[in-house]
Structure 1
Amino acid sequence: MLETKQLTVRFGGHVAVNAVSCAFRPGTLTAIVGPNGAGKTTYFNLISGQIKATAGEVLLNGNSLAGMSPSSRTRAGLGRAFQLTNLFPNLSVLENVRLAVQAARSGAHLRGLNLWSIWSDHKALTQLAEEVLEAVAMNDKQHMLVASLPHGDQRKLEVALLMALDPLVYMFDEPTAGMSHDEAPVILNLIRALKSDKTKTILLVEHKMDVVRELADRIIVLHNGSLVADGQPAEVIASPVVQEAYLGVAPIAPLAQAGAGEGV
């Protein structure tokens, strides 16, 4: 469903992501791990269009996303959650989700519908938004202002927005960042539920290895911008390359790119 081919970005003389080729299939949750500064979030930014690639390309269902803006990539089927919450703080919980529902359905079926039109005229959209909030157990908070929510609920709401967009690919960048030990399982349970839909592809940037072990079907490892390991979780976690990447013991050679991602 999603593929990067020789994806590269340079900032001056620094190569932040170095010719990464990888394919991601539906029904699979792939964890992207590596030490700080490995290029994980930059790789996400290249895929979702926040950063323009120096070389290489991103393909979704075989179609190149080159030249497409982040919003166009979202409409094409890429759903992205960020390390920091990206919400409308002065709108209610329900209004946030209704905007996402409307955005997802404002193509051929709702062409010409104004984004800020009166919501009471669009009961079907409101009902869909309420169904999404029920799925994330936030129906009882639908009329609260987002700014008043605790951090854990804001993270839940961000997942709800992604669900409302109904993307082909879910991209989570450290979804439990800043959450307490008690709050984190709620987000992990939501991601686990999304995994049950085998038509979707999920990418997860995460540094907590217990989360990775629990959720991942596959792990890829970035180090100094290069892909250095790719495989099943137990195998990758136990590999010397990953131990070296996290402990910084020795320089690591990039993984041979031919056929990268094809075996999992």
Structure 2
Amino acid sequence: MSISLETRALTVNFGGHIAVDRVSCTFSPGTLTAIVGPNGAGKTTYFNLISGQLPITSGQVLLHGQDISNTNAATRAQHGLGRAFQLTNLFPRLTVMENVRLAIQARVQSRDKRGLQLLSTWFSHADWISEADQILTRIALIRRRDMRAAELPHGDQRKLEVGLLLAMQPSVFMFDEPTAGMSHDEAPVILDLIADIQQQRDKTILLVEHKMDVVERLADRIIVLNQGQLVADGKPAEVMQSTVVQEAYLGVAAESGEVAA
């Protein structure tokens, strides 16, 4: 199986505290890997190291075999690494349509320099507008295309952020608690989108999630972090049935069916 993303002994040290400790892992196209663990386990920090939001103390991140360890987040995005954040990361004063259109434009400009020669006004690019409308339809925001992003309720802002990620067409999708703060009725839209990406079988998906029903529904594989170290890696059934993982690392709440974030 080919490897699209790899971390080799990935480590970050904050003033003597090792938040991620020599984590080596490979990720392949067609696989959704859920990253779970207790509070402070290093899940989001691991995400930040991969996507370039944090500098690496030691180790490597490789994307399609290329070492991207010393590149910034924007460069990694241009190479196909897409990240949706736990907190929304939008242009609040722009409309829903403008947010998606700008993401499409950024993709075109970064991958096809001919796009720079076509920029008279964005209104002339009917293809960008058409693609944006298709994405807004997929994320159930087409009726709010002309609203400012700041005016959207939180759940719709999360949908829009996933729309921006779709517009960038990455080869690796990274979702950090994509349904956090969403209502029970809103969450299925995001989960269905992730499932749709998963079914394409040519994309690599990483998912940080504490809701075990989401993990069980989507994950092909689970890796568990604890105190910054990789402590379990395998098929969901194998990992979840491990007594050590359940009690010591996942912090399973029998009544809620959730693990600690």
Deviation digits for residues 201-250 of structure 1 (CA, Å, limit 9, x no counterpart): 000000111110011000000000000000000110111231111349xx
Spell out the pairing of 1:13-52 with structure 2 (5 A cutoff). 13-52=16-55
Distance in 1, matches of 2:243 and 2:116, equals 55
Structure 2 partner of 1:148: 151
State whether residues 83 and 165 of structure 2, in contact with CA within 8 Å, keep that contact through their aligned partners in structure 1: yes
Work out which of the residue numbers 167, 185, 188 in structure 2 matches 1:182: 185
TM-score, normalised with respect to structure 2: 0.91
Structure 2 partner of 1:259: none
TM-score, normalised with respect to structure 1: 0.90
Work out which of the residue numbers 56, 59, 63 in structure 2 matches 1:53: 56
Structure 1 partner of 2:250: 246
Spell out the pairing of 1:114-263 with structure 2 (5 A cutoff). 118-243=121-246, 244-247=248-251
- The one-letter amino acid of 1:246's match is L
Deviation digits for residues 165-203 of structure 1 (CA, Å, limit 9, x no counterpart): 000000000001111222212211111111111110000
Unaligned runs of 5+ in 2: 253-261
Distance in 1, matches of 2:75 and 2:21, equals 25
Distance in 2, matches of 1:39 and 1:142, equals 36
Aligned residues: 248
State whether residues 102 and 115 of structure 1, in contact with CA within 8 Å, keep that contact through their aligned partners in structure 2: no
Q: CA deviation at 1:150?
A: 1.2
Which structure 1 residue ranges, 4+ long, deviate > 2 Å from structure 2?
A: 107-118
Distance in 1, matches of 2:5 and 2:251, equals 31
State whether residues 48 and 54 of structure 2, in contact with CA within 8 Å, keep that contact through their aligned partners in structure 1: yes
Distance in 2, matches of 1:73 and 1:226, equals 24
Distance in 2, matches of 1:203 and 1:61, equals 15
State whether residues 108 and 115 of structure 2, in contact with CA within 8 Å, keep that contact through their aligned partners in structure 1: no
- The one-letter amino acid of 2:65's match is G
- The one-letter amino acid of 1:122's match is H
Change (3 A) 1:114 1:34: farther
SS at match of 1:106: helix
SS at match of 1:59: strand
State whether residues 99 and 115 of structure 1, in contact with CA within 8 Å, keep that contact through their aligned partners in structure 2: no
Unaligned runs of 5+ in 1: 249-264
Q: CA deviation at 1:161?
A: 0.5
Moved more, 100-109 or 74-83: 100-109
Work out which of the residue numbers 102, 105, 122 in structure 1 matches 2:108: 105
Work out which of the residue numbers 58, 65, 71 in structure 1 matches 2:68: 65
Q: CA deviation at 1:126?
A: 1.4
